[in-house]
Amino acid sequence: MLAGRRIVLGVTGGVAAFKAAYLARRLVEAGAVLRVVMTRSALEFLGPQTMAAITGTPPLTELFGPDTVSPHTELAAWADAVVVAPATAATLARMASGESDDLLVATILAFEGPVVVAPAMHTEMWEHPATRRNVAMLAGDGVRLVGPVSGALAGGDEGLGRMAEPEDVVAAVVAVLSGSDLSGWKVLVSAGGTREPVDPVRYIGNRSSGKMGNAIALAAARRGATVTLVTTAPPPHHPAITVIAVETAAEMAAAVWGAAPHSDVAVLAAAVADFRPAAPAPTKLRRSAGPPDLVLEPTPDILAGVAALRPRPFLVGFAAETGPASGASEKVAAKGVDLLIANDVTAPGAGFGGDTNAVTVLTPAGAVEEWPLQSKESIADRLWDRIVEVRSH
Instruction: Enumerate the active-site residues.
Output: 206
By CB atoms closer than 10 A (0-12, 13-18, 19+), residue 291 is exposed
> Looking at the DSSP assignment, which residues form a beta bridge with residue 359?
371
Instruction: Answer yes or no: are the C-beta atoms of 381 and 182 closer than 8 Å.
Output: no
Question: How many C-beta atoms surround the C-beta of residue 239 within 10 A?
Answer: 6
Contacts of 262 (CB under 8 A, 6+ apart): 186
C-alpha closest to that of 106 among 73, 79, 77: 73
Q: Cα separation of 19 and 153, whole Å? A: 13
DSSP per-residue codes, 304-362: HHHHT-SS--EEEEEEEESS-GGGGHHHHHHHT-SEEEEEETTSTT-STT-SEEEEEEE
Q: Which amino acid is at 296?
A: L
Instruction: Answer yes or no: are the C-beta atoms of 333 and 364 closer than 8 Å.
Output: yes
C-alpha closest to that of 380 among 266, 212, 227: 212
Return the H-helix or E-strand segment holding 143. none
Q: Cα separation of 261 and 162, whole Å? A: 41
Instruction: Answer yes or no: are the C-beta atoms of 190 and 269 closer than 8 Å.
Output: yes
Instruction: Note the Cα 25 to chain centre separation in Å.
Output: 26
C-alpha closest to that of 360 among 391, 317, 313: 317
Q: Cα separation of 184 and 281, whole Å? A: 46
Q: Cα separation of 38 and 59, whole Å? A: 7
Q: Cα separation of 215 and 378, whole Å? A: 9
Q: Residue 27, SS3?
A: helix
C-alpha closest to that of 64 among 18, 103, 99: 103
